[in-house]
Amino acid sequence: MAILGLARSVTSIGVVLAISSFSMRARAAPAKVRVDWPTVPGCPDAKSVVAGVQREMARAAAVDTVLARAQIEPPAAPGEPWRVWIRTRTIRGAGERTLEADSCAELARASALLVALAAVRATPPAGSEELDELMPSPDWTPEPTSLALSRPVELPRRTRRPAPHEERRSRFIVGGGTWTGAGLLPSLAWGPTVAGSYETGPWTARLSVRAALPQDKTVGRLGATFDALGVGADLCGAGALVHVKTFTTRACGGVEVDAIRARGKGSVTADAVRAEAVPFFGLGASWSAARHVQLGLDVRAGPTLLQPSFAVVSAAEGVQRLHQPPAARVEGLLACGFVF
């Protein structure tokens, strides 16, 4: 009996030592974490993401080694969310998720939690009911039963985001800028302009008002000061050439009418005002610099109609022509608009 008791004591001690040794080995070799997190401006680095995963895993009773790889897409335009495709793999299988957030910091915190959840070792219940009516999908394949850290994780292909013209809604754009043109005044004309546009889908209708700063023209001892005030209307179709994210090209057609005024000496040009009209065709581009700010550049040309002629008359020098617009006009416009 004494020998039997001694054997039982030795066996108990051996079991306790074995359990203690196993626990120490388990604590000495914690689960591994590897997160392939890309370096993107404005995002936390990979070390902070791994630290977040480890903090979340520390709360779980049992975790597995986990491998994760992420692919980040910054916002395509102001106001759009950050996006990440993340793939996880553990000894129990693989998973894939897509997350969105207003900032990359929020995206990193959510990704760390997702990776930690993938590593948590869930204990199945003692008993479970079979679901006979739940059949696997025809394209279902079994999850892998081993973890291969050396095997690269295949990231999902980027889905094609809708082009900006597919997301457009009706909106108003009010703005101003500067313009310059050859063929309106005696020399190269330039000045301020304001415009209002209504945009719906790929089409934009625009009304504008602009002024040409005064410039002098003299012939001998005779001369005049010229300036102009005009209005324009045009219709533009977006995406005619290139449409990439926030940059859009457009083709436009319309008409401009200008009132040219000449003030000078002589019986004819004493504060004379005459009209000029130009039907035009042009190309332009717009860039959404911010959510409610749009920059635009247009170049246009067209034939001159209603060509007025300005001259001065004096007893000594007779009639001296100062200005007559040429047969064609070319202009450029640079504007900044606010979107409503």
Q: What is the chain's mean pLDDT, rounded?
A: 78
> Which residue from 328, 309, 306, 304 is spatially nearest to 319, judged by alpha carbons?
309
Query: Rounded mean pLDDT of 249-274?
Result: 83
pLDDT tens-digit series, residues 214-237 = 999 888 777 889 999 999 999 999
- At the top level of CATH, which class does the domain 164-339 belong to? mainly beta
Lowest-confidence segment of 58-62, 151-155, 193-197, 212-216 by average pLDDT: 151-155
For residue 235, what pLDDT is reported? 95
pLDDT band at 170 (very low <50, low <70, confident <90, very high): confident
pLDDT band at 246 (very low <50, low <70, confident <90, very high): confident
Q: Which two tokens stand for residue 336?
A: 């900044």
For residue 42, what pLDDT is reported? 85
pLDDT tens-digit series, residues 44-96 = 999 999 998 888 888 887 888 889 999 999 988 888 899 999 999 888 888 89
Query: Rounded mean pLDDT of 309-313?
Result: 82
Q: Are strands 293-303 and 222-244 parallel, antiparallel or unpaired?
A: unpaired
In 3-state terms, what secondary structure has residue 24?
helix
Query: How far is 13 from 15, CA to CA, in rounded Å?
Result: 5
Residue 202 has pLDDT above 50, yes or no: yes
Of the two residues 122 and 235, the one the predictor is more confident about is: 235
pLDDT band at 198 (very low <50, low <70, confident <90, very high): very high
Is 339:293 a contact under the CB 8 Å cutoff? yes
Helix (H) or strand (E) holding 258: strand 247-264
Query: Rounded mean pLDDT of 295-323?
Result: 85
Residue 182 has pLDDT above 70, yes or no: yes
First to last CA, the chain: 96
Other residues' Cβ atoms within 10 Å of the Cβ of residue 302 = 20
Domain boundaries, the chain: 30-122+145-160, 164-339
Lowest-confidence segment of 159-163, 175-179, 265-269 by average pLDDT: 159-163
Lowest-confidence segment of 102-106, 110-114, 141-145, 310-314 by average pLDDT: 141-145
> Which residue from 220, 221, 224, 231 is spatially nearest to 186, judged by alpha carbons?
224
Query: Rounded mean pLDDT of 178-189?
Result: 94
Q: Which two tokens stand for residue 168?
A: 């457009």
DSSP 233-247: EEEEEEEEEEEETTE
Q: For residues 118-142, b (16+ Cβ closer than 10 Å) or e, as one string?
A: bbbeeeeeeeeeeeeeeeeeeeeee
For residue 224, what pLDDT is reported? 87
For residue 240, what pLDDT is reported? 46
Q: For residues 65-80, b (16+ Cβ closer than 10 Å) or e, as one string?
A: ebbbbbbbbeeeeeee
Of the two residues 80 and 158, the one the predictor is more confident about is: 80
Lowest-confidence segment of 116-120, 153-157, 174-178, 259-263 by average pLDDT: 153-157
Is 204:198 a contact under the CB 8 Å cutoff? yes
Of the two residues 170 and 138, the one the predictor is more confident about is: 170
Query: How far is 63 from 92, CA to CA, in rounded Å?
Result: 11
Of the two residues 159 and 292, the one the predictor is more confident about is: 292
Task: Specify burial of residue 34 (Cβ count, 10 A radius: 0-12, 13-18, 19+).
Answer: middle
Q: CATH classification of 30-122+145-160 is 1.10.3470, yes or no?
A: no
Q: Comparing 30-122+145-160 with 164-339, is the CATH topology the same?
A: no
Residue type, 245: K
Residue 154 has pLDDT above 80, yes or no: no
For residue 184, what pLDDT is reported? 92
In 3-state terms, what secondary structure has residue 17?
helix
Of the two residues 169 and 300, the one the predictor is more confident about is: 300
Angle CA 34–38–40, to nearest 5 = 145
**Which residues does 146 contact at the CB level (< 8 Å), separation at least 6?**
91
DSSP 185-210: SSS-EEEEEEEEEEEETTEEEEEEEE
Other residues' Cβ atoms within 10 Å of the Cβ of residue 153 = 17
Query: What percent of the chain lies above the pLDDT cut of 70?
Result: 72
